[in-house]
Structure formats: C-alpha cells, structure tokens
Structure 1
Amino acid sequence: MDMNQRGIEAMQEGNFEEAASIFSEAIEANPNDPISYINFGNLLSAVNELDKALKFYDKAIELDEDAATAYYGAGNVYFNKEKYHEAKNKYEKALKKGLDHGDLHFMLGMSLQNIGQNRLSLPYFQRATELNEDDTDARFQYGLCLAQLDLVDEAMKQFQTIVELDEEHADAYYNLGVAYAFKEEVKKATDMLEKALNIQSDHLLAGHALKILKENKEQ
C-alpha cells in the first residue's frame, strides 16, 4: 500500500495526526506529486484549516494544471468561507478538467444559488440526481428550483421521490403540501402538511400553511 493510501485510511479512521505525518512523508519523498498535496489539503479542510488547505490545493494545481480534484477541493474551501463566486469558478474549472461526480454538480448548483442565479443552478442539480439517484439533498434542491420556475408538476415528482426514499423528510412533505394547495387540491395539501408536522412538530412553515388552509375552508 502506498503512502497516500495509508494516509487516506488514517484520515478515514479519524487519525488526523497520523494522516498528516504520512502525507508529509509522501510530499518529502516525491515533492512533484500533486496527489499528496491534494490529500493534505483534504485533511486540512476536514479539520477546518481552510487557508492552509487552499495553499496545498494551489500547489497541486501549480504542479498539474489538470488536477481536477484540486480545483474541487479549492471550491469547497471557498464555499465554506462563503465566497460563492470564487467557489463557482473553481467548481467550473474542476468540471472542465473532467471531474463528473454528483457532489461536484450539487456544489456548483449551490454556489450558483447563493449568488442568485437559480435558473442556472437547475441543470447541475438535475445532473447530481442523475449521477446519484438516492441523494435526497440534491433532489430537494432540484425540486425547489423547479418550483421557483413554476414547473410545479415536475417539482412534485422530485418531492414525491424524496418521501419514498426518506419517509421522515418533513420539508419534502411541506413542499408537496404547498404544491397541492397551489393546485387547489385542499385535502391532499392538508394531508401533506399534517405529515410534515407529525414528523417535525415545530415546522413553522407547515403549521402556518395548514392554519391558512383551515381558515380558508371555514370562510
């Protein structure tokens, strides 16, 4: 087993000091290998040493400008620092360099959303759900995006899939309730909102929506 693999395993087991020691050794043994710098950057990100992590990702990119995972790691650092424009740029670079996994598409979608470009985030959330059909976080954001674009039926399909994957997803039931209310299907809307509240009794939005539905029914 090579040093990088040993370091990754130590990191996965929560032995961060051991992992740091192994990655340092790997860098000393082969200072021109970008993988060791990326791994050390991932370790530093995991312990929230974000500025230090960024230096390691930058060094990896300096050694190999096609190191897609280094751009992805740097994107995560910027996202965690709430620098969403910078995060978007790094994620786009990772995509351009050939990285195509669900987490990258999800994070690029989240970055676009955080800078107010909801419409542009839609295809990335869609791609994230295609690459990982069980990712309820990506599917939920995809559903929200569809709803914001008034694609209510398509949004409902996503929320329905979520509650099939996770019966305790209160927010998905809430959004189904809102969608049914929008379609004036009051009984179904009420059922969905009550399910949300059964799961999360302090779900303020669901409680408020249910109250409005009942008031309208009484009038």
Structure 2
Amino acid sequence: MEEDFEYSSPEEQKISVARYEEMIRNHDQYFFDKQAFIAIIDHYIDLNDPMQALQVTSYATSQHPYDTNFLLRQAQILASVQEFDKAITAVEKAELLEPSEGDIYFIKGSILGSLGHFEEAFFNLKKALENSDVKDEIYFQIASLLQSEGRNEEAIPYLKKTLAINNKHQEALYEIAFCFDILDQLEEGITYFNAYINTDPYSYAAWFNLANAYHRLERFEEAIDAYDYVILIKETFSSAYFNKGNSLVNLDRFREAIEVYEATFKFEPPSAETYCAIGECYEKLEEMDTAREFYKKSVQLDEQMADAWFGIGVTLDFENHYFESIHYYKKALALDDSNADFWFAYADAKYKLNLLEDAEIAYKKVVALNPLDIEAWLDYSSLYFEQDKVQEAIDILMEGISNNPTAAELCYRMVAYLFADGKFIEALSYLELGLHADPQKHTIIFEYLPQLQSNKIIIDIINKYANN
C-alpha cells in the first residue's frame, strides 16, 4: 500500500514530473517505479488537476497491474470529480487483488456513502475496521454517514472514538460540537469539552467549541473566559474574537465588543458581517452617525447584507427621518422578506408617517411571521383603536392573546379596549387574567386609559391581588 513507500524528496518529485511530461510530449513510453508514480500523482493533485492525476494512474496501473495503491488513488480521484460508478469499478478491482486490505473497504465505504447506499457503506466501513490498524478515520467516516442520515445521536459515540484515538482530529471536534448543538445537548457538550481540555489543555478548537456552547446557553461570562483561552493559545484565530464580541454584545458591553471586533482586522480583511456588528454596537450606544458609517461600509462590501441595510434604516428612524428610513427597510425586506423585525420597523415607520393602510398590511405580516411578538400585537391593535375602530382592535388583541395566553401586557391592554367599548364585565375578566399572569404590570392599563385610575372596581381588584 501507499504507506509502504518512501516518498520522493521535492527535488526527486520535480525530476519525475519533468520526465513524465517529456514522455507525454514525445508520445513515448517510459518506465517509472512506484515511488515516482506516487510523486507524479501527488504533484497533479496539489495543482488541483484531477484529470492529469487520473491519466497518471492509468499509466501506473498499466505498468504495475498488481499494485492496488494506484487503483485506490484512481478511485479516490474519480470520486472527487463525481465519477462514482467508475470509482466503484476501480476499487472493486483492487478488492479482487488484495481482499484483506482495510483501506480498500474504507474507500469503497466512503464512495458508497456518497452515492447514498448507506447500508452497503456501513458494511464496508465495518469490514475496514476489522482489517485496519488505523481506525480513527474509519470511525469518523462512519460518524459522517450517520450524520448525513440525520442520526446525530448515534454519530456521537463514533466521534468520541475518533478523538480517543486521535485527539488532534479537528474535524471530529467540530462535528461532535455540531451534534451536541443540533440535539440540544449543550450541557453534555460542556461536560465533554471540559473533560477533553483536561487531557489537552492547549487545544484551541476544544476551548472554542466549549465557548460556543456557553454562548448558546446564554452563559456569556463563561463564554468570554473560554474565548480568551482560545485567543491565548492561538492569537490569530479571528473567529474567537468575533464570537467573543457577540458575547459582549449580549451583556450590553458595546465598547468592549467594538474593540474585540476590530481586533479581527489584524488577522483577516474586514468583512461585511464584522462591519455590520460594529455598526450595531454604535447603534445601541445611540451614536447614530458612526453606526451608519459602519453599516454603509458593510453594504459596500456586500450588497446582500440585509441586516446592514436595515441598520441604516434604524439610524435614520431614530433621528425621525422616517421617510428615508423606509427606503432602507425596503432594501432589507427585498433581501429577506420573512424577517419579522424588518417588517415591524417598516410598519412602525409607516404608522409614524400616518400611512395607515400600509402600516396595517405590514403589522399583519409581522404577527403572521412571529405570533409571539407581544409588542407587535399591541402596536397592531393600537393602530385600529386610535382610528376609533375599537372592535377591530379587540379582535386583533383576542388573536394575540390566543397565541400568547400568559402575556399580561395583552390582557391589560384588552381591559382598556373593553372599557372603552362599554364591555365592563368582559374587561374585569381580562383584568383577572392579567393580574394572575403578572400583577406588577397592571399600570399598563392606566398608561393607555389614565381615567381608569379613578375606577373603584378596578382598583379594588388590583389591591386584592397586591395584598395576596
């Protein structure tokens, strides 16, 4: 097999390639030993020229017909260019010549997996395990097949076996993190990565995956600490800076986040995503001119960055330039018309401009996309209430409450609408519902209809809950 060869030096490889190309130019036949052929094949693979590499394997198999190494190389190259049927033919020729060689079954299993023939692929990979001393890649390939079938739970033990044999297997580390994430087993992931780090404390990939798990669980302080370890081990790993910035944002530490985002520029060119993230930090700090500057830099790099177009709109909206903001909200919606936040801001701007029909359409879109957005239901219903369309406002709020039955805010707003419509008994029942859900928020009623502060029945009911 290939592992038995002593590879050529770079100089020897150069000589072999030159001699081979001379043979092709002269339409001649030169003899090459196995080592030389391997060097020539590797040369064309390194040049990302699979067709030339395939041609070399054809010459190699004609000169060394009983050497399975060249047939397996041929199979792998054919698979890389999606010629799976030809790849299977090549690997089966190798199988006839050397039926006890584990690499044959590993490559055959991998190709069958690419064809979606999972049962045959698993059979061959398990046969490879029986005939190979190098098992980590086989375990990893089995895990990959299981993942491709959506069997992530079953993939985890094989990824663990891969890493138990080869704890430097970066792909396996990231794939096991993916499995823990998609299975919502983040706590298990944290336990695993902490144990892993105890055996390999300088694995930046393990620290990075641990940090990501903490972030997903909203344990942002612990995430930041773990990202700091990543940066300590591998200072140039820009993703750790970016993700640390995201954790800082979630803690409202916007100035620090900006510094960390900008640190990525030392190790890679600025990206549209990073400019957009910095813009959002300045937006949260209400430094709208600077925020807008970074959002514009973002869309200059990538016109498809919907969040940056939206951010420009938000900065203009904040400065009461509603008409201009709508232009940018439309650009964001053209790129992502299923984003409820974009529609909400667009609806709000239309409402502020008294373009009520447009606002109604947009609010309807918001609650359809995100029926759990309590503020959207409140604003949508308010649009009708303020036009004296009280029954329409009540109907919308009823729908909102059916989607959010424990939302006290909606119940308290309903109290105000029902009182305004003269439906006092129904209003009191919603008051009870709101007080049961969250008695502390009852002042919402008075913010909307201040005159209800003098209503003795309402005050008595509120006091009853307050005293309990």
Give TM-score scaled by structure 2 length: 0.40
Contact residue 446 and residue 452 of structure 2 kept, 8 A? no
* Partner Cα distance (2:260, 2:371) in 1: 35
Does residue 166 (structure 1) correspond to residue 404 (structure 2)? The answer is: no
Which structure is richer in relative contact order (CA contacts within 8 A, separation 6 or more)? 1
Contact residue 72 and residue 90 of structure 1 kept, 8 A? yes
Structure 1 pair 75–157 and aligned structure 2 pair: CA distance change class (3 A): same
Structure 1 pair 17–206 and aligned structure 2 pair: CA distance change class (3 A): closer
For residue 269 of structure 2, give the secondary structure of its aligned residue in structure 1: coil
Counterpart for residue 177 of structure 1: 419
Contact residue 134 and residue 165 of structure 1 kept, 8 A? no
* Partner Cα distance (1:83, 1:200) in 2: 31
For residue 164 of structure 1, give the secondary structure of its aligned residue in structure 2: coil
Structure 1 pair 12–86 and aligned structure 2 pair: CA distance change class (3 A): same
Contact residue 193 and residue 207 of structure 1 kept, 8 A? no
Contact residue 445 and residue 452 of structure 2 kept, 8 A? no
Does residue 136 (structure 1) correspond to residue 374 (structure 2)? The answer is: yes
* Partner Cα distance (2:320, 2:385) in 1: 25
Aligned Cα root-mean-square deviation (Å): 3.1
Q: How many residues align structurally?
A: 207
Residue in structure 1 matching 2:260, options 11, 18, 22: 22
The residue type paired with residue 4 of structure 1 is: F
Contact residue 174 and residue 192 of structure 1 kept, 8 A? no
Counterpart for residue 121 of structure 1: 359
Residue in structure 2 matching 1:156, options 377, 386, 394: 394
The residue type paired with residue 203 of structure 1 is: F
Contact residue 57 and residue 71 of structure 1 kept, 8 A? yes
Counterpart for residue 449 of structure 2: 206
Counterpart for residue 319 of structure 2: 81
Identity %: 20
CA deviation after TM superposition for structure 1 residue 77, in Å: 1.0
Contact residue 38 and residue 56 of structure 1 kept, 8 A? yes
In the TM superposition, structure 1's runs of 4+ consecutive aligned residues that sit over 6 Å from their partners are: 192-196
Give TM-score scaled by structure 1 length: 0.79
* Partner Cα distance (2:424, 2:449) in 1: 14
Structure 1 pair 49–210 and aligned structure 2 pair: CA distance change class (3 A): closer
CA deviation after TM superposition for structure 1 residue 108, in Å: 0.6
Larger Rg, first or second structure (1 or 2): 2
Structure 1 pair 82–27 and aligned structure 2 pair: CA distance change class (3 A): farther
